[in-house]
Amino acid sequence: MTFLDLSQLVLVAAALAFAWSIGAHYTGACMGMAYGSGGIGRRRALLAMALLTVAGATLASGRVLGNIGLNLIGASDLTVPAAATVIVAAFALTTVYNYLKLPTSTIQIFVFSLVGVALGAQLPVRWSNLEGLVLLWAAAPLAAVVVGYGLARLLRPGPPPSAEPSSHERWVPLLVLMAFAASFAMGANDVANATAVFVSTRLTDVVVAGAIGGIALAVGVLTWGDRLLTTVAFDIVRTDEGMAVAAQSAQASVILASVLLAGAFTSMNQALIGGMAGAGLARGKRTIHWPVLRGILAGWAVGPVSGLALGFAGVELMVRLGL
């Protein structure tokens, strides 16, 4: 075993910090509706999400880690300082957007930070693989809209609150179960944002990268996750329990299909909001908070652009520091 040099230590520290930020970022997308329904308490929601995130990252992230770590920028091209620059840029932007409670896509921030560094350092980008990712990012929320719409049509609204039996008893346990599935999917899907660079730079294999990243994701869930626990779930669409189940099921199914079948990652927030939009359309357009949704769409545009710009600028700083 060899000791890590300074640039490798910076890379590892930045990657773990980024994973921590990602874990906090997605608490609302995974557990917000289950918590808001009263089906699970705040502490139990965060603990369950943390444990399932570690499981997903360790057991189901291997294909995504390998694809992202080796197939966007070749492992022989990405140096450790360049990889550290990617992660620092992505971590900084994600943390700022977390503070602003803006549910951007950490995946798109990471990928475009990577592209920005590659362009600044004149490294070859595998554009065909990037194009495939972009197509997946476009298709995933549309698929979630379709799934969310279909499920919401099947899951009829329950009786009024004063009636017996309540729809709460019918749907909330299933909603909690779907939130657990989304938490597992998040670990499998998003750990590559932080630790795919371990694979790129040959620091670890995919199993170790998944396990270490999953633990850091879980720490983020537990230490800062409550800040975003309810933002996504309640500011975009007015839901009944059937709609919430439909939306969360759409999210989990789309993400897991992407990870397990395509070996690629896509946005948790976009999949959830697609599912919520589909469920909302099944109930009538008036259920969707369009001004908030438009603001989130603007945030998705800002994320990739800011990642590209900061990654590119980071190369200049790296050169000035002689790295």
pLDDT values of the chain reduced to their tens digit, one per residue, 323 residues: 355 688 889 899 999 999 998 998 889 889 988 998 889 999 999 999 999 999 999 999 999 999 998 888 865 678 888 999 999 999 898 888 867 767 678 899 999 999 999 999 888 899 999 999 999 998 999 999 999 999 998 887 655 555 445 566 778 999 999 999 999 999 999 999 999 999 988 899 999 999 999 999 999 999 988 877 766 555 555 667 888 899 999 999 999 999 999 999 998 888 988 898 898 888 776 566 666 667 667 777 888 899 999 999 988 877 777 66
SS3 286: helix
Q: Taking a C-beta distance cutoff of 8 angstroms, is the pair 198, 57 a contact?
A: no
Gyration radius of the chain over CA positions: 19
Which residues, in sequence order, are CB contacts of 315 under 8 Å at separation 6+? 82, 85, 116, 117, 120, 121
Q: Which of 202, 254, 207 is nearest to 60 (CA)?
A: 207
Question: Residue 174 is encoded by which pair of tokens?
Answer: 């299933």
Helices 62-71/206-224 angle, 10° precision: 110
Question: Residue 253 corresponds to which tokens in the numbers above?
Answer: 């199914």
Evaluate whether 194 touches 216 at the Cβ level (below 8 Å): yes
Beta pairing partners, 288? 237
Q: 197 phi and psi, to 5 degrees?
A: -70, -20
Q: Where does 201-259 have alpha helices with state H?
A: 206-224, 231-235, 241-257
Q: Give CB contacts under 8 A, 24+ apart, made by 106-109.
A: 106/21, 106/22, 106/25, 106/26, 106/190, 106/193, 107/137, 107/189, 107/190, 107/193, 107/265, 107/266, 107/267, 108/137, 108/267, 108/300, 108/303, 108/304, 108/307, 109/303, 109/304, 109/306, 109/307
Contact 273, 141 (CB under 8 A): yes
Assigned token pair, 69: 């770590």
* Measured distance between the N- and C-terminal CA atoms of the chain, rounded to whole angstroms: 24
Q: Are 198 and 204 in contact (CB under 8 A)?
A: yes
Domain ranges of the chain: 6-314
Q: What is the pLDDT of residue 51?
A: 98
Question: What pLDDT does 57 receive?
Answer: 97
**How far is the C-alpha of 145 from the C-alpha of 247, rounded, in Å?**
8
The per-residue pLDDT for 159 is 55
CA dist., res. 28 & res. 9, Å (int): 31
Position 147: which residue type?
Answer: V
Residues contacting 258, CB < 8 A, separation 6+? 136, 140, 189, 264, 265, 266
Tokens found for residue 168? 């709460």
Residue 7, pLDDT score: 81
Tokens of 110: 């990471």
User: How far apart are the C-alpha atoms of 127 and 29, rounded to whole Å?
Assistant: 30
Cα(222)–Cα(255) distance, integer angstroms: 22
